[in-house]
Structure 1
Amino acid sequence: MDLDAVVRARRRIAQAQADYVRELRALVADGPGGACGEPVAAELAVALAESEHVIRRELARAKQLTTRLPRTLQALSDGDIDLPKAAKVVDQTEVLSADRAARVDEMITGKLVGRDAGSIRRIAYRAVHKVDPEGAALRAAQRRERRKVEIVHRDDAMASISATLPADAASATYASLDRMARSARNHGDARTMDQLRADKLAECVIGRSGGRPGSARAEIYVHVDLPTLMGLAENPAHLAGHGPVPATVARRIAEDPTSTWRRVVTDPLNGAPLEVDRKRYRPTKAVADYVKVRDKECRFPGCHRPAAYVDLDHVTPHGCDGPTCAANLIGLCRHHHVVKHTAGWWFEVEPDGTLHITTPRGACHTSRPPVELCDSVAAGERTGVTVGGEDGSNTGPTRGRRARKRRRRANRCGSGNGFSGARASSGDHASGRDSRVGTR
């Protein structure tokens, strides 16, 4: 076993991470005329098949390291630390002014080699306190402003909920859950303490036992075919925003009278109307529901925001004769709705719901709905958009007939998708807040 070879390989990884940081920083220029961080983040996320949240965090980290923490970046370049360890320094110094961050960077130089991530965080924290002792209260207030709740989807129909709270609130929340769990155990409940704490948290929030009666409840979409729902098949179901779940889980949700799910049977049961008045701006509820069921999530590549929280957008703008029908509507989360109407982006949709996205740098990506449009729509609806790429290619710059038609349509409707970089609030979305039916 060559331990030294492993260490050398690890150092090379760190050096490559430093190169990656510098390239990220070079991608987003500062000052007038420079690249806009948000559109660049969206385009880079598509190119790297990474979530936009991760890319924005990496871009911010790259800016901190290259402009405020050059010595920490050099330690990364030398292979003395890796990027996760460098991130600990970034996290501790991001609330400081540039000059104080530079002082911390200088103070900890040479102290990071051979340290684990936790030790580096403590070293940086102590240095921050030394250079700005009176700012501790302000830093605590700034971090308090970043409190949030996040969900991370796991395997086998599980997920994790994480809450970032002030320490006192977090401690009190855990103590309350622990007290409820112990009370249940003392009354003979056979579940483990971990299971009870988790179940009590869900009960308190959802309101199944101890929640306020009649309170607003979130709507959850579960897509399941009819044979599976009836117990005649074991096909996986689809939980919007999460992905596949076992048939047994779908049936358990369906049979639970207290669940907040909304059943979406993928085998047509009632022939929901899809063809409506194509000249109206806002879709009917039937069409809006259908598009959200079809798309399941935001249609931007890599975004998994559930369709219950999206805007419905005309791919071909309504003002440019774009019809209000399922074949010309897509679901986009509010953030990617803004991206779509930023200059340089181009969206095209095919009758079956396949979406072609061209980035400002000319790369073409394809997004397909998880559930195809039904044959009656695919065969009969005129979308009023150009469909390109006869071979279905989803990479490389667009060329040829599709690009020529795009230019002609752009001349008629204006730049981009007809808005020349208009924001979503003034863009062409069919439903605005009316489409956000995640709660009722």
Structure 2
Amino acid sequence: MDGKAVAETLEGMAASLSALAAFAGRVAGSAAPSPNPLRDEADACLDGMAEAGSMEAMLAAVKVHFAAGYAAAAAALAAPVVSPQERTARDMAVTAEVACVLTVSERSAAALLDEAVTLTTRLPLTLSALRAGGISWQHARVMCDETSGLDPVAAAALEGHFLDPEAPFAARGCPAGELVPGRFRTKARSWRERHHPVSIEARHSKGVEDRRLDYAPDRDGMAWLSAYVSADVAAGVWARATEAARALQGPAESRTLTQLRADVAADWLIAGVTEGVPSPKAQVLVTVPVFSLLGAGTEPATLDGYGPVPPGMARRLVADGAGSFLRVLTDPRSGAPLEIGRSSYRVPKAMRQWLRLRDGRCPFPGCTNHSLDNEADHLLAWSDGGGTGITNLGQPCRKHHRLKHTTAWRPIGATRDQPPAWISPAGRSYPSEQQDWEPPHWPDAQTAAHGPADHDGHTSEDPGWEPEREPPDWPDVTDHAVGPADHDGHTGEDPGPGETGPPLPVDPFPEWALFTAA
């Protein structure tokens, strides 16, 4: 960021200060009289917080400019280094200076200097978005973390996917700045896994060699016990422990779901499956690109609640008939899910599993509660005429389920492919994070032989052709049932008033088992 860019950023901050002053005036009551002064004050406070957040991002960009500038100036002023030891000593001196001037630890100062150099030399789109207040400093740090270790081309591709709307197959759903930093990190890491220049199979093989069990003492007579294992094992253990914990819940059980999950896992580890501790079958969704399932592609599969996993792992889970893992096939054009494994397609849990696919987690903005822990819920209550269809269902976690029924917060606008947005008591709309389904990469041989024509009549053999991302036309079939009863006491087997709803799609590859057998 040069001097001109800093000046432009400072001008933007001046405009933000003026806006903040206006909001402060509305809060103090010095603005024009309002018919609803309390509502106006509340709105002014919300607008002021949003403006202050944007200004913090701009200020962080200015800080980055000065940190990178000082590091460059210090290097130019110092005598040329002739050994690694001298370079280390010089870097320590620069870090110590920044730590003292900012009154932070040297570790924090070193991180700031590293991130400042990364942003000013490798991530121009991220720095530009920070300067404009479109993303926060936490978002910028996530981008620095997730591009570390990537070559410049791969780093630019990851950055462009999330911050350049003109990039090929740019991220859909919520913009990066509208995701909480933790969710943005998850999405960025998932994209990095799918597009890393080193095969995910190779990286997974190295990870398997490093598997281990860790024990770390903590305060207050507590300790952490953690296992570094393959994703399918971890997902199966987590799902099984969650279902076992749920089975123990009841009016006489005072422990929370979190406490029960820890207790049943400890019982299994210490004494095996003891009497009174249920051992249900876990249900974990595995979303597999069709070409990866056939062994013709190398794209990662997706493990529900985890993210990208090696296609070889997915093929093994499906081919071995692992009963705890439900295979989900994706559209070879758009990457969107098409069908849930036939073993559960026409059973009461099919619609609930489709909700898990659609939402991935609690649909409240920023919530990370995994879908396995959430509850099926009518957006428009059954008693008010709401039917049991995908477009009238959400799966909020218990906290946000309670928020919906005890406050004026309300979810609206769900579709078969998108979770509901939420309207706040202040009347503001907050979008829910959407799944960023990515069109698969067609293998060369498959593309030449089977690539579909697009709406303009072009095929995969035409120069520059790419499979379209439009969703397929679903067959006209009826909705099926939600498994557990929702808060109204109804299940998906209850017919709604005139309810037909958008259909769950029919499996376009009903003989998929033959492919895996081959």
Same fold (TM over 0.5): no
User: What's the TM-score once normalised by structure 2's chain length?
Assistant: 0.33
Using structure 1 for the length normalisation, give the TM-score: 0.38
